Structure 1
Amino acid sequence: MGADGFVRRHRMTSETAGGDAGVAGASAGAEVRWLGGRIWGVSESLVGSLSPRIGGETDIQTVQFSGGPLEVADTSEPDYEGLPQGASTSTHMFAGAVAGIMEHCLMFPIDCVKTRMQSLQPEPAARYRNVMDALRRIVTTEGVWRPLRGLNATAVGAGPAHALYFACYEKLKKSLSDIIHPGANSHLANGAAGCVATLLHDAAMNPSEVVKQRLQMYKSPYGGVIDCVRAVWRTEGAAAFYRSYTTQLSMNVPFQALHFMTYEYLQELLNPHRQYKPSSHVVSGALAGAIAAAATTPLDVCKTLLNTQESLVGVPAAGQAGGRAVHGHITGLAHAFRTVYRLGGLPGFFKGVQARVIYQMPSTAISWSVYEFFKYVITKHQLDKKRAQQREGDK
């Protein structure tokens, strides 16, 4: 399947899926249309224009007789196992950016539910039994577009964040594997590469997470992304956009270590020759995401609390005995842990675990399958182009 056909088909879908949602849903509807026009417009132009340098090009032999070269025979098809190592950094970045945007945007309604379900003291109207109950009630009481509010903030952050994330991971994975276990795949190298890549990913994504989660909360006071950014900047300062950064890293570093190590291990079992095999990418990505998500839910609850700074959560004043609740800012991971335990006990650390696992399984499956697809398509496109040019030059 060609990349151009893939892009055109999805572009048609994104352009015909919109609708008039009324005044209440206008902001989210505009975000969807804004996003669709840009994702596929960029995809269509870049897939054909990127020119990665391929390390392991196809073998071409010249059959020569006494009269000179007669024909050029192509002795091998591009082997997917060799493509990822030969793909350029720009290919990894583009494939990663598309994968990240699609992953976050397709799963955004579930992410909205997860944020709501992690609220420590939700209002009665925002108490949900499960994921489907939450989605149904949000749509019926707040409008069909409400679960998509904040989507454009996520798209703006997800593109560059995942571009850096996958490019860094691919580079470090190979470099560290050559050091730790030359000539073979090293799980330690995969985990370490994932941890370092997370530092770059979270640095780019954290401000978008803050804005997105504040817009997702029940009765969010903000009119939109720009209004939220201005209000947070004015009332809490620029540091508010990175208040949860250390917590995000504390969660994502073990998450990504588990995620990458599990994914690569499952790939060895399901796809030992590392061919382009979509089913193995989907299954490996889903299982890796589920395991990592369940294990790191307590840290995700603390991150949500730091990002949203729920006004209903009473924060004891410094040095005040008896835990009398006053409004204030939750300032760090330790403070967030104490607040979660005080208000919810041990079960409070696993609020929203069902929504988190349900979100992460298809999310990581989408991310890996889209990433591997674009990496394969772009690199194969360039190999075919080089082979065609070689044939033309030898005629």
Structure 2
Amino acid sequence: MSQTYLLTPDNAALSRHPVAATNKATTISGKDALAGAAGGVVSVLLGQPFDLIKVRLQTSDSGNVWQVVKGIWLHEGPLAFYKGAALPFLGVGASVSIQFMTFHSLRQYFERQQHSQRASTGQNYLSGGAAGIANSIISGPVEHIRTRLQLQPHGVARLYSGPSDCVRQIFAKAGVAGIFKAYPTTVLREFQAYGFYFAAFEASLGSIASLKGKERKDIAVWETIPCGALAGIAFWIGSYPIDAVKTRLQSDGFGADARYRTTWAVVKEIWQYGGFRGFWRGLAPTLVRTSLSSAGCFAVIEHLRKLM
């Protein structure tokens, strides 16, 4: 999955009453869940076309962004940019809840242990990494299925009629293990990505609050937008080479049809044909995508939370 949807408590309130605040049980209200789901939908709408371009570039050793976009537009049509978007839309609400509760539970644990007003950047990284591991239970299968739908031929040559047919065919070939193809690599990607993501958001938001002398609840919606964009960029800068390997593994065949026998085989192939730069193919559209989708996601979340 792509990056998602952080709902953050009032850090200034924690600074005034650190022990009492961090001893509160972590909960996610209906308001938070609704705002997070709405932000996630916006994130998918803004980011899905760029994700498709990323996947096409990561699974090819030639071509550039313009050639990929032109080919999709001419041969598959504009709606093809949203191939595989159905599952991310369906999984948004669950992902928000898992990430939010895992991140804040662990962060509050750190704060209780050290009686601190705020977790350190390193602790936010570890808390975010734990949220990523928890999220991988959903993101692993979702991204696997989405990748196959994004890469399948267009028109009568297509392999799957939709997400459910893709799941059915994968299960018939490889069972549950097939649905979770490349799962260890996905876990590693999620840990690294969400560690950077949450740490960057908390650090940038905390800096803005300190510079302006504001409490968290008084920060305007527009002020969270650059923090969200920065968090999204950190997400991918910290994890993109791992994601490139994961994408090739998830697009591979099963059993005797598998092209790669090990993860290391993917790493060697990418290095052989692209060198160091091969691990970063497709990064430019991904950074554009993540800046838009993360900023839009946070803006929607904050706006809805203030309204409700």
Q: TM-score range by the shorter chain?
A: 0.7 to 0.9
TM-score (norm 1): 0.64
Native 8 Å contact 1:158 1:205 kept in 2: no
Query: Residue deviations 1:155-178, cap 9 Å, x none?
Result: 122321222112222232223223
Structure 2 residue 143 is the aligned partner of structure 1 residue 209: yes
Amino acid at match of 1:95: A
Tell me the equivalent position of 1:306: 249
Tell me the equivalent position of 1:358: 288
Tell me the equivalent position of 1:35: none
Separation (CA, whole Å) in 2 of partners of 1:247 and 1:306: 9
Amino acid at match of 2:287: V
**Would you say how many aligned residue pairs link Structure 1 and Structure 2?**
281
Question: Counting helix residues as a fraction of each chain, which structure ranks higher?
Answer: 2
Within the candidate set 120, 128, 153, 1:194 is matched to 128
**RMSD of aligned residue pairs (Cα, Å):** 2.9
Separation (CA, whole Å) in 2 of partners of 1:95 and 1:340: 40
Tell me the equivalent position of 1:114: 54
Tell me the equivalent position of 2:28: 89
Amino acid at match of 1:228: C
Native 8 Å contact 1:199 1:249 kept in 2: yes
Deviates more, 1:350-359 or 1:366-375: 366-375
Secondary structure at the aligned position of 2:29 is classed as helix
Native 8 Å contact 1:111 1:359 kept in 2: yes
Query: Residue deviations 1:283-337, cap 9 Å, x none?
Result: 01112221331232111100111111179xxxxx9xxxxxxxx952535533432
Within the candidate set 31, 38, 42, 1:98 is matched to 38
Amino acid at match of 2:77: G
Within the candidate set 276, 291, 296, 2:239 is matched to 296
Tell me the equivalent position of 1:383: none
Native 8 Å contact 2:132 2:195 kept in 1: no
Question: Counting strand residues as a fraction of each chain, which structure ranks higher?
Answer: 1
Native 8 Å contact 1:271 1:280 kept in 2: no
Deviation at 1:115, TM superposition (A): 0.8
Structure 2 residue 185 is the aligned partner of structure 1 residue 255: no
Native 8 Å contact 2:171 2:178 kept in 1: yes
Amino acid at match of 1:156: L
Query: Residue deviations 1:361-391, cap 9 Å, x none?
Result: 222222323333334443xxxxxxxxxxxxx
Deviates more, 1:259-268 or 1:335-344: 335-344
Separation (CA, whole Å) in 1 of partners of 2:117 and 2:296: 29
Structure 2 residue 84 is the aligned partner of structure 1 residue 150: yes
Structure 2 residue 208 is the aligned partner of structure 1 residue 270: yes
Separation (CA, whole Å) in 1 of partners of 2:184 and 2:306: 35
Separation (CA, whole Å) in 1 of partners of 2:117 and 2:83: 47
Native 8 Å contact 1:173 1:193 kept in 2: yes
Q: What is the percentage of aligned positions where both structures have the same residue?
A: 22
**Alpha carbons of 1:269 and 1:354: their partners in 2 closer, same or farther (altered >3 Å)?**
same
Native 8 Å contact 1:161 1:204 kept in 2: yes
**Alpha carbons of 1:178 and 1:80: their partners in 2 closer, same or farther (altered >3 Å)?**
closer
Native 8 Å contact 1:99 1:162 kept in 2: no
Pick 1 or 2: higher relative contact order, CA cutoff 8 A, min separation 6: 2
- Structure 2: unaligned runs, 5 residues or longer: 1-8, 15-20
Separation (CA, whole Å) in 2 of partners of 1:270 and 1:372: 16
Secondary structure at the aligned position of 1:237 is classed as helix
Separation (CA, whole Å) in 2 of partners of 1:182 and 1:269: 17
Structure 2 residue 270 is the aligned partner of structure 1 residue 340: yes
Separation (CA, whole Å) in 1 of partners of 2:296 and 2:267: 32
